[in-house]
């Protein structure tokens, strides 16, 4: 499942194809993904100039000249592919249509953006741009982890009464937006905090220290994703799924990477998801 850095990488990859360009045609090949598409979606986006692309949590927000914003969520398996850019920024040839190409945007600069999603947990909706923060998918989401509202006093306040494990608390999208299983494992490893510790039992100092670690882990992944964009353009035009080296995630049984530790990485299941951690380094 794409996490925030992957979604941010997709957004950056879409900029050259969509930002400032006009959608000349939208192919909508089925009535729904996870939920039905908004009424008359194709008509409402056709002919619209794209004013900008931003991101809120794991949603890509495509601002249109009509005053509406197209909300795109990649779900579990959604992929965006860019092709046909006349400037040669992207893979030039349009790929043959694939099964599960559910939505195709044709841009006036010659680019084609294809949304393919075999499992159809992705979503698209249209909302009034001025009111986007009140959209039902977005209104309950906590602050952006890379934004100013997310800071040490905020996180300490939100966690000081929470009896749930810190791992579960950091996955709560109402506490902080866009953090998923992979990066929470990485954050807690870097912080030296066991995923099993109750949030309220961790000192304010240690909770506060999580904030810069969260920012660093996500920022490093975004930079890594950005540098991978060029390769993806040259390959098949697919955006966002880059190889990233994780220090603890998916390393069960392998040796802890902290100097001189030597302990095998453990895996446990919390809230139905795997937690990877070092029993010696994370307390």
Residues that bind Zn ion (CB under 5 A): 256, 258, 261, 263, 278, 280-281
User: Closest CB to Zn ion among 88 and 260?
Assistant: 260
CA distances from 152 to 106, 147, 159 (A): 44, 12, 11
58 part of the active site: yes
In the complex, the smallest distance separating the C-beta of residue 278 from Zn ion, rounded to whole angstroms, is 3
User: Closest CB to Zn ion among 119 and 283?
Assistant: 283
Collapsing DSSP to helix, strand or coil, 213 comes out as helix
Of 11, 56, 58, 167, the catalytic one is 58
Q: Show Cβ contacts of residue 30 under 8 Å, excluding neighbours closer than 6 positions.
A: 102
Taking CB positions, which residue lies at the least distance from Zn ion?
A: 256
What is the Rg, in whole angstroms, of the alpha carbon atoms belonging to the chain? Answer: 20
Query: What are the helix and strand counts (H, E) for the chain?
Result: 6, 10
Q: Are 29 and 101 in contact (CB under 8 A)?
A: yes
User: Closest CB to Zn ion among 116 and 282?
Assistant: 282
Whole-angstrom distance, CA of residue 137 vs CA of residue 133:
9
3 part of the active site: yes
Burial (Cβ within 10 Å: 0-12, 13-18, ≥19) of residue 207: buried
Whole-angstrom distance, CA of residue 198 vs CA of residue 161:
10
Of 49, 162, 197, 273, the catalytic one is 273
264 part of the active site: no
User: Closest CB to Zn ion among 39 and 259?
Assistant: 259
Whole-angstrom distance, CA of residue 132 vs CA of residue 112:
26
Of 2, 5, 145, 165, the catalytic one is 2
User: Closest CB to Zn ion among 114 and 282?
Assistant: 282
200 part of the active site: no
**Residues composing the chain:** 283
Whole-angstrom distance, CA of residue 185 vs CA of residue 170:
10
Q: What amino acid positions are annotated as catalytic residues?
A: 2-3, 58, 273
């Amino acid at each position: 499942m794409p996490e925030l850095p992957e979604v941010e990488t997709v957004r950056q990859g879409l900029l050259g194809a969509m930002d400032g360009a006009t959608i000349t045609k939208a192919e909508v090949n089925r009535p729904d993904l996870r939920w039905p598409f908004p009424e008359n979606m194709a008509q409402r986006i056709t002919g619209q100039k794209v004013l900008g692309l931003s991101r809120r949590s794991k949603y890509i927000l495509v601002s249109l000249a009509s005053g509406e914003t197209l909300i795109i969520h990649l779900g579990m398996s959604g992929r965006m592919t860019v092709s046909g850019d006349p400037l040669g920024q992207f893979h030039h040839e349009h790929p043959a249509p694939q099964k599960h190409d559910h939505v195709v945007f044709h841009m006036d600069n010659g680019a084609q953006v294809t949304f393919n999603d075999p499992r159809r947990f992705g979503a698209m909706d249209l909302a009034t741009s001025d009111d986007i923060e009140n959209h039902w998918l977005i209104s309950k989401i906590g602050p952006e982890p890379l934004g100013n509202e997310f800071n040490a006093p905020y996180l300490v306040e939100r966690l000081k009464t929470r009896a749930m494990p810190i791992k579960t608390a950091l996955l709560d999208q109402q506490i902080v937006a866009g953090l998923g299983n992979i990066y929470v494992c990485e954050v807690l490893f870097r912080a030296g905090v066991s995923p099993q510790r109750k949030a309220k039992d961790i000192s304010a100092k240690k909770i506060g220290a999580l904030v810069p670690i969260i920012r660093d882990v996500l920022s490093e992944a975004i930079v890594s994703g950005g540098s991978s964009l060029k390769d993806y353009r040259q390959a098949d035009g697919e955006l966002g799924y880059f190889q990233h080296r994780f220090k603890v995630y998916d390393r069960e049984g392998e040796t802890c990477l902290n100097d001189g530790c030597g302990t095998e990485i453990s895996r446990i299941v919390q809230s139905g998801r795997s937690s990877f951690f070092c029993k010696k380094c994370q307390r």
